[in-house]
Structures are given as structure tokens and as C-alpha cells.
Chains A and B, each alone.
Chain A
């Protein structure tokens, strides 16, 4: 169901929610927004397996925030809270752990909300919507579409270049080896891609691409009331969450700056 919605409407729907999640000063609001995002994805017909596949690496990232923040938070912000652990001279305060939890919850919310767009939007439709609804010049949009068609070919070519390097014994392990390998692969890949681009540009010019300001479309991306409804529903749900948390006293400050 979400896949049929206009890509721009999904961006318009989730962007304010992501901004609110980024401003959250307590864990409850980002966790509730994460729940809202997951509920929307499930109702929107995204397979739970796909959602889990996206969230598992994210959970590791969020865990990193939880572990690091208590170590780097400025002491005067948290030293009035109880100490929960001591490692040598280092004291971990409950307030510092709360900073870590809030950071973790914010990351979870931001990525979960972005999944509403990225798990349900074919990139071709996004570019079409940019041209047809957002008035991006069609020469730019359709040049991007033409180049995006090269992506699978270039991925295969990259694999072939790496395989060729391995056959010649050029593969090296370690960070420096990987970087050298990346550089060696990028040069032929870029050269080949630019040659393809020049051939494609000639072919497009030969067919009078962009010669006239008007443009007709084979595939139209529509923007209808269901798209507006999606945005309004998500905003209403977020507003209800904020009001409920406010009533319970769990909202916390909405600000970029944490005050003592």
C-alpha cells in the first residue's frame, strides 16, 4: 500500500516527524515515534523480515551510542544524579546513562522513520515525482534516470574489476590494502562509466533530448487525496503522541541544546 503512494508525499509526511525526533530530550517521544514508524510500515504492507533486516544493524549502532555517551558527557551536567558504577577514577552517573539512552532512542526513531520512505520507494518513481510534481528540470531528472540505469551494470563491472585484480594477485588485506584496492578499482570503473555516459549522451541528443521546453511522459506519478491523507494521518498520530506524553509529563524538552 505504501509503495503506491507518491514518493514526495512520504518525504513531506516523515520529515517533520524526524525533526521532532531529533529535538527530543527524553526517551519516550523517540521511542513512541519509532513505534509509529514500525506500525505504519507493517500496516503499509512491508514484510516484517525486510524491516528486521534494516533494523538489526541499526540496533548495534544505537547500542554504541548507549555505551559511549555515559563516558563523554560533561560531568557538571550529571554529577547531581546518583553514581551507578565506578571504573578506576571514572564514575558513571545515572544522568549520563540517560543521555546515552536518549541518543540511542533518537537514532532509532530517525532511521525507523526514514524506512517509511526508503523501504517503499522505487528510486525511478522518486525521480519522476521530482520532475512531475517538484518541477525539477526534466533534462536533469531524465539524465539522472538514464544514469541510474547504469547502476546494476556498473556494480557487475566493479565485481569483475575486483576479480581481475585478485587473479593478478593484487588483492591485499588490511585497511591500507583495501584503500589501495578501492583506488585501483575506481579508476577503470570511472573511465568505463564516463565512456558509457558519452555514448548515451550522443544517443539522447540524436533523439532531440531536451530540445523543447515541453515534455510528455510515458509514466505519470500521481499525487492524490490518499497521499495527502497519509501525511495528515502521520502528523495527527505524532500530535496525539506529543499531547499524550505532555499530559503524562513524559515529553521532556524539545531543544537542540541540553541545559543543566
Chain B
């Protein structure tokens, strides 16, 4: 009996509830795959837009924040934004020659989105104003960390840099709004019942 008890104890320690359940992991992954598929065709458009300069780039990068906003609002778990953004970049690798760059942009947007989500929401309050603030902060950090340096901001006039910053912030806020609206639309189909968003809606009802 004692042997059985020890075996059960070992089994219980092995089978303790993980931070992410398989269901949550798979849900995050398929959200990433769907957005990855949607983003693949737009990578060519994005590459073309890059040639139009810093303003078009600032506006278009917000597109990559859409999966981040959706994942943050639906899953509400630390790491969800980063995971979804990286995997949606992974999906692009076989379908586009810009795969590694898309993965890099996905990883960077995910890391910035995760940081902004942590700062603004602390994974507790996911109301629309906070989600928009998350988008605005992510847009600001993204512009500051990548665009200003990689496109060598110094050859541009300060007024143009301010305008491009505003565009970047605006694009990320629009992406956050779109993610919020899309998540609510999907929630109405009932498939998100097992996610944090679904549970919150059930409790509210």
C-alpha cells in the first residue's frame, strides 16, 4: 500500500496542472496560424509599402499588432501575445521569401506587445480603453526601437519623425480596436467559451 501511495504521489507531482493547458496552447497556436495565413498575402503588400518610405511603413506595421491585440484580449495570459506573434511569423516562412524577416517582425511586435500588455493591463483589466492604451504604447515603443534607428531618423526632419510616430501609434491603436471587435464577433459564435474572455462574458451574464 505504501508503495502504491508513493507511486500515486509521484504521479500527482508529474501531473500537476501546467501554467498553460493543452487546450489554451492549441487555441493560441491556431489563432496564430489563422492570422499567419491572413498576413502571408499581405507580406508582399507590406514589402511594396516599405518602398514608399517611413510613413507607409509606420502605418502598415500596425497590421502585425492585430494578432497580438486579439490574443491579449481573448487569452489574457502572460506570454500569449509573444507566442501568437512568433507562431504567426513561423507560418509565413514556407509561403513567402520574406519569412525570416516576417518572423523577426513578429517576434519583435510580440515582445513589444507583451511588454505593453504587462505595463498597461497587468493581465487583469482588459477593457477597451486599456486595450487602446496598450496599442498606443506598443506603437510608440515599436517606432522608437526600430523605425527611428533602422531608417536612420537623422536624415529626416523632426516634423516628419513626429508625424511618423503619430502614424505608428495610430496604426497600433486601430489594430487594437480591430482585434477587440474581431474577438467580440468570434466570441458571439460561442467557440471562446473556454477562454478567459468567454468565462468573463459568462460571469457577466
Contact = CB atoms under 8 A, between A and B. Distances in A.
Interface of A: 11, 14, 22, 53-55, 57-58, 60-65, 67-69, 72-74, 77, 99, 103, 107, 110-111, 114-115, 117-119, 121-123, 126-127, 139-140, 143-144, 146-148, 150-151, 154-155, 158, 182-183, 186-191, 193-198, 200-202, 204-205, 209-213, 256-259
A256 B153 CA distance: 9
Contact of B97 (A54, A194, A210): A54
Contacts of B23: 197-198, 201-202, 205
Contacts, number: 189
B26 A74 contact: no
Contacts of B151: 103
B48 interface: yes
B93 A144 contact: no
Contacts of A58: 47, 97
B29 A191 contact: no
B150 A256 contact: yes
21 contacts: A57-B44, A72-B160, A114-B98, A118-B100, A123-B90, A139-B25, A147-B29, A151-B33, A151-B91, A154-B37, A187-B185, A190-B182, A190-B186, A191-B186, A191-B191, A193-B30, A194-B31, A194-B191, A201-B22, A201-B27, A256-B152
Classify the interface of chain B: helix, strand, loop or mixed: helix
B53 interface: yes
Contact of A186 (B25, B52, B182): B182
A260 to B, nearest CB: 9
Contacts of B205: none
A47 to B, nearest CB: 13
B29 A146 contact: yes
Of listed B44, B90, B151, residue having the most chain A CB within 10 A: B90
A148 B90 contact: yes
Interface of B: 14-15, 18, 20-23, 25-27, 29-34, 36-38, 44, 47-48, 50-54, 83, 87, 90-91, 93-94, 96-101, 149-152, 154-157, 160, 182, 185-186, 189, 191-192, 194
B14 A211 contact: yes
Contacts of A198: 23, 26-27, 191, 194
B33 A148 contact: yes
A74 B155 contact: yes
B90 A126 contact: yes
Given A186-B38, A200-B26, A147 B33 contact: yes
A206 B67 CA distance: 29
Contacts of B182: 183, 186-187, 190
Contacts of B94: 122-123
Contact of B30 (A55, A197, A213): A197
Contacts of A99: 155
Contacts of A148: 29, 33, 87, 90-91
Nearest to B152: A258
Contacts of B20: 139-140
A97 B150 CA distance: 18
A211 B51 contact: no
A117 B30 CA distance: 24
Contact of A115 (B38, B47, B97): B97
A127 B192 CA distance: 27
Given A114-B101, A117-B99, A65 B91 contact: no
